[in-house]
Amino acid sequence: MASDQESSERDDDQGVSAEIARSLGAVWQRFSGSRPKTLSVEVKTNVVRCVIEENPEKDVVDGDDAPAAGGDVGSTRFGYDATAVVARATHQRVVAFIPKRDGKTQTVTQTYILDRPRQRF
């Protein structure tokens, strides 16, 4: 029985990961104008980590590791929308959003810290 429960939890995690990847890809496209090259999602108990590889475009980077004008993926609004995607998919409140961008590799790592589920007594 324990293995049935573990496999169903893995299936749920994969379903949540796939939902987050689809939705976050759509949010990314809305803010940057193009879909990410790759997007991987790792879901753990209280942490969701997304690694997004940007599509290389001619004017995406001005040379100072910052997006060119027009791409506002680093905006506060993007953070709100991305956080809402994770909260909706995991059914948990997001208490912290930590974006990190590596301009050399064109990779963005987004970490979402989830609130612990409430315990009922």
What is residue 55's predicted lDDT score, i.e. its pLDDT?
A: 82
pLDDT tens per residue across span 39-49: 999 999 899 99
Residue corresponding to tokens 């379903």: 15
Q: Where are the alpha helices (DSSP H) in the chain?
A: 2-32, 76-90
User: Stretch 103-115: mean pLDDT, rounded?
Assistant: 92
Break the chain into its structural domains and give their ranges: 2-114
Could you report the per-residue pLDDT of 72-107, keeping only the tens digit for each? 777 889 999 999 999 999 999 999 999 999 888 889
Which pLDDT score, from 0 to 100, does residue 22 have?
94
Contacts of 118 (CB under 8 A, 6+ apart): none
Instruction: Grade residue 61 by pLDDT with cuts at 50, 70 and 90.
Output: very low
2-114 fold: Threonyl-tRNA Synthetase; Chain A, domain 2 (3.30.980)
Buried b vs exposed e over 32-43: b needs ≥16 C-beta within 10 Å? beeebeebebeb
